[in-house]
């Protein structure tokens, strides 16, 4: 297994240009790639942070899987991508391990050579492997402290955190970094990481500790397990929130002591977004 880090978190959008009005122009994320992938019938845009990327996927034809996903579910999260140093070998290893696959051999994608594993094998999370090209240009960076600088973690909703944790550790070579429980927010969860730098983005599985149907996790799990939130680190959170409010994003909620805010999913293309200082 040659998986090394979380490469990107992807969202499906109806119109990439419109979505860039938030992600690039308001939030301040620089564009690393913007390309039409003809064989998939999509336009993909990769937005760069210091340790990972956010991908926006716009379907260009009405008959491909991304278009059907958008029609069925609307805008929002689509998949998590793990970077591989040998995607062909990792796809073979996953298939031989009995993991349900979408791709058994690599194909061309926005992030390089790619392949997908079926979400049914991974607690509702669609997983992509990607092997970036050897000559890939350096990722652009932003020196604006009001713009997000890092992906802190991707949050996935699970009915059984222990089972989801075990699956990701077995399938992807991750390890459990921390367990936690928050009584004020009525959630319990587990952080998973690869063995690299401490700044690498993590995956978190969370489950509600309440049956309240109004709780967002209870509501999410009513539709099934899968991607739930994305948490980004912002050096100057107050300045970032001021930008968002000036842009008319009224759905900015301050949580706890003010070091964390929640944005969306209105105005963020269906993505539940947490910004943290």
Domain edges within the chain: 3-131, 150-276
Residues 142-166 pLDDT 10s: 889 999 999 999 999 999 999 999 9
The H or E element that residue 191 is part of is strand 187-193
Residue 69: pLDDT band with limits 50, 70, 90: very high
**Position 66 pLDDT exceeds 80:** yes
**Cα-based distances in Å from 204 to 14, 89, 106, 109, 191:** 27, 26, 27, 26, 4
Predicted local confidence at residue 88, as pLDDT: 97
pLDDT value at residue 214:
94
Q: What does the DSSP 8-state code read for residue 119?
A: G
* pLDDT score for 251: 66
φ, ψ (nearest 5 deg) of residue 162: -60, -40
Per-residue pLDDT averaged across 104-122, rounded?
Answer: 96
Query: What pLDDT was estimated at residue 268?
Result: 94
pLDDT band at 73 (very low <50, low <70, confident <90, very high): very high
CATH number 3.40.605.10 given to 150-276: no
Assess whether the region 3-131 and the region 150-276 belong to the same CATH fold: yes
User: Is the predicted pLDDT of residue 133 greater than 80, yes or no?
Assistant: yes
CATH number for the domain whose boundaries are 3-131: 3.10.180.10
- Please report, for residues 74, 199, 211, the alpha-carbon distance to residue 59 in angstroms, rounded to integers and kept in the order given: 12, 32, 37
Whether residue 229 is preceded by a cis peptide bond, meaning omega within 30 degrees of 0, is: no
Average pLDDT for residues 198-217, to the nearest whole number?
Answer: 93
What does the alpha-carbon distance between residue 272 and residue 128 come to, in Å, rounded to a whole number?
20
């Amino acid at each position: 297994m040659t998986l090394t880090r979380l490469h990107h978190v992807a969202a499906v959008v109806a119109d990439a240009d419109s979505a860039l009005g938030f992600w690039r122009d308001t939030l301040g994320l620089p564009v690393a790639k913007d390309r039409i992938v003809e064989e998939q019938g999509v336009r993909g845009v990769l937005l760069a942070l210091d340790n990972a990327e956010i991908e926006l996927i716009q379907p260009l034809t009405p008959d491909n899987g991304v278009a059907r996903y958008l029609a069925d579910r609307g805008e929002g999260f689509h998949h998590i991508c793990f970077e591989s140093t040998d995607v062909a070998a990792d796809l073979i290893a996953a298939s031989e391990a009995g993991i349900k696959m979408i791709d058994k051999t690599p194909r061309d994608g926005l992030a390089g050579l790619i392949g997908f594993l079926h979400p049914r094998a991974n607690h509702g999370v669609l997983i992509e492997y990607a092997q970036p090209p050897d000559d890939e240009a350096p990722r652009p960076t932003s020196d604006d402290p009001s713009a997000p600088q890092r992906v802190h973690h991707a949050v996935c909703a699970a009915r059984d955190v222990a089972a989801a944790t075990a699956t990701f550790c077995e399938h992807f070579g991750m390890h459990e970094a921390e367990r936690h429980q928050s009584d004020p927010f009525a959630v319990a969860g587990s952080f998973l990481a690869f063995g690299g730098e401490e700044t690498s983005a993590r995956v978190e599985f969370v489950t509600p500790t309440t049956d309240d149907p109004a709780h967002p996790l209870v509501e999410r799990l009513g539709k099934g397990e899968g991607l739930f939130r994305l948490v980004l680190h912002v050096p100057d959170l107050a300045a970032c929130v001021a930008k968002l409010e000036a842009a008319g994003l009224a759905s900015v909620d301050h949580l706890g002591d003010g070091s964390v805010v929640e944005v969306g999913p209105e105005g963020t293309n269906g993505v539940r977004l947490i910004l943290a200082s």
